[in-house]
Structure 1
Amino acid sequence: MSVATLSLFRFDGLGPRLWVIGQMGAARFGLAQERRAAFWKLCGSGTGQGFTPRPNWGVWAILATWPDEATARDAVATSAVHSRWRAKAAESWTLFLNPTSARGAWAGVNPFATTGQSQPPTQTSGPIIALTRATIRPARALRFWNRVPDISAVIGADPNVIFKIGIGEMPLLHQVTFSVWPDAASMAMFARGNGPHGRAIDAVRDGNWFAEELYARFALLGTVGSWEGGDPLARYRTQKDAA
């Protein structure tokens, strides 16, 4: 069963940030030689709540898929690219993800497809992770980004969202949103309710804004590293237990 990883890296100071910008070209050669990875992408991130067109020059990401969890954990720990980025970063955090559903395409393929498995895994407990990826049609980009501030404000104020970040391969046109929710009901309420996100989804469908799109859901297998001084999911579990 394939396993996905999202590795986030925070780079402090001018030198490390210039280095990682260069890595957006150089690291492609290393990842192309990483035979354990079935799919990989290098991404930048957005500022604010993460869902904005303004780049965050300090936060960068590597997303990849691997044949199984053991391979994924070993690759994140030992691969040349992950190791170099970790050594330069002020902190890093990786989530190990088990795809439970995926539809659509990313660069012409569905890297998280569960097709061919005897039965897609069913999540019965624990956080639910949502990933959406879209290639925005250039003629629709202004309309799309005009919607983003309202969506960003709502997700930032939502007490249910455990973690969220916006990443992307290309500013303005290739956008990935990644969020962690305590349960399916909380995620659905945000995504499909009569709020900014729900209205934006309706506009996307009516206006044919996306040239390509992918929607995936994952169960969490585990994490390694820290983000903003700790593990956001460990903090969530602590708060939940205290409540």
Structure 2
Amino acid sequence: MQTVSLSLFRFDGPMRRAWAFAQMGLARRGFARVPDIEFWKLCGSGTGEGFTPLPNTAVYAILAAWPDLDVAQERTQKSGPFSRYTAKAFESWHLYLSPTSVRGAWAGQTPFTATSDAGQGPLAALTRATVRPRKAAQFWKRVPKISAMIGRDPNVLFKIGIGEVPLLHQVTFSIWPDADSMAAFARSNGPHARAISAVRDGNWFSEELYARFRVQGTCGSWGGGDPLTAKKDAA
């Protein structure tokens, strides 16, 4: 069963941040040679809640797909490119995800293979969009209200905005305790729903992908601990 990993890295100090930025181009050849890797993307992140056009020079992400969970854990924790990121980073956190539904395309392909969901525990939602350049200003005008809405939602366990190309290739990722809370946010009559309507009416995106995952496990820390465990303990 395919496993998707999302690896987040936080860097402190100008030299290490400069190194991480340079890897957006320099590390591509190394990741292409990692055994068993089926799909991978190097991404930067946004400031604040992450869903902003201003880059966060401290946080970078690696999204990858693998044939199964054991391979995903082995490669993200021990293979050369991932190990170099971990060694340079102040903090790192790996999420392991099982795709349960996938719709759309990413760079002309469908990178995730959905399987039936018989699991329990948190669910993750990922959206990836290529914003048409002439629509970018309209798109980003709506983003701050959506970001604030996600930040206020008491159910969201974790959220981050990442992207391959600033302003144009954007990925949103969030984790929810169950399908009901995820659906309630998506369907609420607020900034998010109005933005979705505007996207459809205005044809803002040239390509879209929507995927849902079951969280299989985590490794490492983020913000001094595991966000999923911390939220559960607080509840």
Q: With structure 2 as the length reference, what TM-score do the two structures score? A: 0.98
Which segments of 5 or more consecutive residues in structure 1 lack a partner in the other structure? 115-119
Q: 1:220 aligns with which of 199, 203, 215?
A: 215
Q: Structure 1: how far apart are the matches of 2:78 and 2:172?
A: 27
CA distance in 2, matches of 1:123, 1:175: 30
2:203 matches 1:208: yes
1:99-130 CA-to-partner distances (Å, cap 9, x unmatched) read: 0000100111111132xxxxx22145211100
Note the 1:87-102 alignment, pairs <5 A. 87-102=87-102
The one-letter code sitting in structure 1 at the alignment partner of 2:131 is I
Contact 1:100 1:123 in 2 (8 A): no
Aligned residue for 2:172?
A: 177
> Counterparts in 2 of 1:11-22, with a 5 A limit?
11-22=11-22
Amino acid in structure 2 at the alignment position of 1:229: G
Structure 2 Cα separation of the partners of residues 137 and 226 of structure 1? 35
Identity of aligned residues (%): 63
1:39 aligns with 2:39: yes
Deviates more, 1:188-197 or 1:122-131: 122-131
Q: How far did 1:35 drift?
A: 2.9
Alignment of 1:85 with 2:80, yes or no, is no
Of 178, 181, 189, the match for 1:194: 189
Moved over 2 A (4+): none
How far apart in 2 are the matches of 1:124 and 1:25? 37
- Residues in 2 aligned to 1:35 and 1:126: alpha-carbon distance in whole angstroms: 30
Deviations 1:50-103 (A, max 9, x none): 100000000000000000111101001111110000000000000000000001
Paired position in structure 1 for 2:57: 57
Q: Please give the TM-score of this superposition, normalised by the length of structure 1.
A: 0.95
**How far, CA to CA, are the matches of 2:205 and 2:173 in structure 1?**
18
Question: Alpha-carbon deviation of 1:174?
Answer: 0.4
1:3 Cα deviation from its structure 2 partner: 0.5
Mapped to 2, the partners of 1:14 and 1:57 lie a distance apart of 9
Q: Which one-letter code corresponds to 1:186 in the other structure?
A: S
CA contact (8 A) 1:11 1:90 kept: yes
SS in 1 for 2:111: coil
Superposition RMSD in Å: 0.9
Code of the residue aligned with 2:139 in structure 1: it is F
CA offsets per residue over residues 22-62 of structure 1, 9 Å max, x none?
Answer: 11111101011113100000000000111000000000000
> How many residues are treated as equivalent by the alignment?
235
For residues 101 and 170 of structure 1, the distance between their equivalents in structure 2, rounded to whole angstroms, comes to: 25
Q: Is 1:73 matched with 2:73? A: yes
Q: Which residue of 2 aligns with 1:233?
A: 228
Distance in 2 between the 1:109 and 1:36 partners?
A: 18
Contact 1:168 1:175 in 2 (8 A): yes
1:183-232 deviation line (CA, Å, top 9, x unaligned): 11111111121110011001111111000000000001100000000000
1: distance between equivalents of 2:4 and 2:120?
A: 19
Q: Is the 8 A contact 1:103 1:215 kept in 2?
A: yes
Partner residue, 1:112: 112
SS where residue 107 of structure 2 aligns? coil
